Amino acid sequence: MGDPVSVESWLVSAGRDRRPGSPLNVPPCPASNFVLGEGRAYSRDDGTPGWEALEEIVGGLEGGSSVSFASGMAGIAAIFDQLPAGSVVALPDDCYQGVAGLAKAGQSRGRWTVHRVAVTDTAGWIEMCGVADLIWLESPSNPLLTVADLDAICAAPRKRGAILGVDNTFATPINQRPLTHGADVAVQSVTKFIGGHSDLLGGVVTVRDANLLAALRQARELAGATPGTLETFLAVRGVRTLAVRLERAQRSAMTLAERLARHPNVTVTRYPGLASHPTHEAARRQLKGFGTIISFDVRGEAPAADAVCAGLQLIQHATSLGAVESTIERRAGIPGQEHLPPALLRLSVGIEAVEDLWTDLDRALRNVPEVPRE
């Protein structure tokens, strides 16, 4: 992103065709092939204008060069595909189940060995930097919202050829830019905050190294992991409002987190903006904003948490996150997430009026069936 343009202005102005007579917004281009000659030939190989606009916008935000994919997992799979046989992979203990599943599947086929490291174990991560071929971080993590010490980990000497990647979806490129901390790769699930409207699947991988950029583009082409025309159009349209959506939603998230922390039917509230959060100081140091995701444990077991979800009227009981509407789900009910507290709910705060959100939450929490107090 070029100086002195602000993030807010970049989001609105980047990725546009400024030639006279061009559409103000990049239109969807529903074409699989093009008239041969100079320029594009086949969209799986050469892309469409929508891809290029999305990659320009996100690349500028993250501070590198971007490759768009059909989903965030498609982009992450392309990164894993760069690893030679017999590699060592370091993953956080609190990790998105899709990535954990990908790593486990590769290990079962002998492609790599997986080591799990606690997000807060900075010394453990520094040690893994010397032996792992892929150091994979989530910060804040999903769904415990733990913040890793990116500066210390990224500064550690790495094994020759190793890749250090950060899933930056929860923070967004507005609140955190991993490449500026020294990471090699930053990933955004475009499905979440970038698109922002629960209407698309997509992913973007941003890197600093030209060779890695070319390798990821080739991996996308060979795997056919190309984003759809409509999806990229929607993603570009959605990202234009990222700054205003994020500002509103994370302001509401702070208010809700503070109130949830005092609620009699909530036993634990996790939000990086709370002083009680285990990695609050790291969040203050590293993040420009604390984000829109809160996780909290309902007093009681899984049935109590399920009752809260069923009792909500404004907040949607749905998976995924980062959209204009607030969503909630019990994460331990998701395959691969059984290790989480059974009554943990992950709340993605949207742009609704905060007092309406609180009324909905408070009512559902107060209607939880009475459980014995310890």
Catalytic residue set: 44, 96, 167, 192
**Is residue 190 within 8 Å of residue 237, measured between CB atoms?**
no
- Measured in Å, how far apart are the chain's first and last C-alpha atoms? 53
Residue 279 gets the label, from left (phi > 0), alpha (psi -120 to 50) or beta, of: alpha
d(CA 157, CA 154): 8
Write the burial class of residue 207 (CB in 10 Å: 0-12 exposed, 13-18 middle, 19+ buried).
buried
d(CA 74, CA 71): 5
Q: What is the number of alpha carbons within 13 Å of residue 257 lying toward its C-beta?
A: 26
Residue type, 221: E
**Is residue 294 within 8 Å of residue 252, measured between CB atoms?**
no
Convert 293-326 to b/e letters by CB count within 10 Å (16 or more is b): bbbbbbbbeeebbbbbbebbebbbeeeebbbeeb
d(CA 71, CA 96): 14
Beta bridge partners of 269: 296
Residue (of 348, 313, 314) closest to 329 by Cα position: 348
d(CA 2, CA 126): 32
Phi, psi of 88 (to 5 degrees): -110, 130
Locate 309 and state its tokens. 């979800």
Write the burial class of residue 210 (CB in 10 Å: 0-12 exposed, 13-18 middle, 19+ buried).
exposed
Q: Cα 324 to chain center, whole Å? A: 15
